[in-house]
Structure 1
């Protein structure tokens, strides 16, 4: 299949675009294999790009020999109306948008044709745990950088280096990883200058009244000795969290005083 076979009018001038809460724009409409593009063609040109797969429906509003309007209803709830001059152009554009927005073959989707200009950059080198957390490590002895996951054997979805409480050893981290789903033991994600922290992890593994003292030690070490409360945010839906509550949730009785928020 060639996209050109369906694009009867690849370019159309004298098109007026109507958008909600915006004044009408005069410009040019261009249609490619994966997008339709409207450009106002002014000094400070305004462009609107819409992926064909974002189109939920196309409505034709003919206006006799003058042409008509094509209402494009998008999946992000936008409704764009294109006033098109000329009957032939009106029918061609409406037919093209209807056809290209209903292509079923996934191999013709935009990601299979997109060519990145990144030049083969190594994304792993863009972020260095040692560099990003160097100030924290130097200013506080409460945290350390662990290279336990250097070969990704402990957790496939964690980086090679992670920040954990200094009082927890790598051997204890291994036991915590065995207690957590996917091996995602609690690690530091963010620390505010005032000392507030954000950790991420997965839920505990299922099991009747299962507990892991090393896991409890890690959480309590993160809370520190100040006695302040911590918040455990369960990002699962409330129904899913409650249905799994037999074993894979954190019992507050095994932690320092805190607050558990389900389904946030």
Structure 2
């Protein structure tokens, strides 16, 4: 499975130990090393393991952990079985079995990946053999939880182009014909002082001042005010994005926020109503009032129409995806396929 998109290396075909190759992905392979490494990539530990392959059964091999990847090479298979997993793909690491576990391959690590893979490695039980590999994996798979930087900051690769300059927001706005007589670019968030989860440059209605934006931000969750995301090249209709208003259980109103949405409507030309799409189910939006959130009610926003898209929260979606993964990986039980698929509710979540 893991070797389908990963180059396989046959130790019998390697050149002399003094040679060096550069792989297609830019990875340098020193022939006297066990694994390919990127510039700045450091190997921390390695261990003999048995990889519990869901397709071919137990595979004996050696696993290597760096500050960027988990890398496994089989030692008895021909062709060689290779697992090359960037640590950023890992979502959970769990210990499997304990010191008193009985049964073959019952002691080791169970690794859940964000790409729907589950990797299971069995280790010898004596001498806490999994402790160091568990600690190193946990440390570098979740660097922020251990006050470490992501590997991107340790990467010493040299590129011909400055990655920070690949995307230029002002050039993108100009491509869309902005600014114009109805929309302007504001630098109010240049140092992320207005909203720390928004870009530094924002496009807002021409008739809204920066003081207006500050007042609106105080009434929006995490200060995420309505800002332009896209404009139609012919009709000049726009798509805005924002967070929920802080209405609360008492049904608070904010005249500045109400006026700002009306300015947005006017900037869209000859439309009588502003259409608001709320991604949440209606019941969730109502429940959010209890924690200070809410939605744009028709009393406060008479020139707007509100539609709920009935998309559930991240926890519900994650559980549904997990159920979907369980019925397709590693095997599909065709005799109960339709009922199993229905039980995940995944098709309900992704319907248009």
The TM-score with structure 1 as length reference comes to 0.63
SS in structure 2 at match of 1:149: coil
5+ long unaligned stretches in structure 1: 84-88
- Pick one of 150, 162, 186 that aligns with 2:202: 162
Higher RCO structure, 1 or 2 (CA under 8 Å, sep 6+): 1
Shift of 1:250: 1.6
Structure whose residues are more often strand by fraction: 1
Q: Deviations over 1:134-171 (max 9, x none)?
A: 12225964432122333544444433320112343434
Match of 1:217?
A: 262
- Pick one of 282, 305, 308 that aligns with 1:258: 305
- 1:39 correspondence with 2:82: no
Shift of 1:260: 3.2
User: 1:192, 1:27 → 2: CA distance?
Assistant: 57
Does the CA-based 8 Å contact 2:70-2:83 persist in structure 1?
Answer: no
- Pick one of 216, 232, 245 that aligns with 1:204: 245
User: 1:82, 1:106 → 2: CA distance?
Assistant: 18
Question: Pairwise mapping of residues 152-191 of structure 1 onto structure 2 (< 5 A)?
Answer: 152-191=192-231
Shift of 1:107: 10
5+ long unaligned stretches in structure 2: 1-43, 312-352
Match of 1:86?
A: none
What is the total number of aligned residue pairs between the two structures?
243
SS in structure 2 at match of 1:54: strand
- Pick one of 120, 129, 141 that aligns with 2:169: 129
User: 1:95, 1:19 → 2: CA distance?
Assistant: 23
Does the CA-based 8 Å contact 1:70-1:90 persist in structure 2?
Answer: yes
User: 1:161, 1:260 → 2: CA distance?
Assistant: 29
Match of 2:53?
A: 19
User: 2:224, 2:277 → 1: CA distance?
Assistant: 15
Match of 1:74?
A: 111
User: 1:107, 1:99 → 2: CA distance?
Assistant: 12
Shift of 1:230: 1.8
- Cα distance change of structure 1 residues 252 and 73 upon mapping to structure 2, 3 Å threshold: same
Is the deviation greater in 119-128 or in 168-177?
119-128
- Cα distance change of structure 1 residues 192 and 75 upon mapping to structure 2, 3 Å threshold: farther
- 1:29 correspondence with 2:62: yes
Shift of 1:243: 1.8
User: 2:254, 2:229 → 1: CA distance?
Assistant: 24
Shift of 1:96: 2.1
The TM-score with structure 2 as length reference comes to 0.50
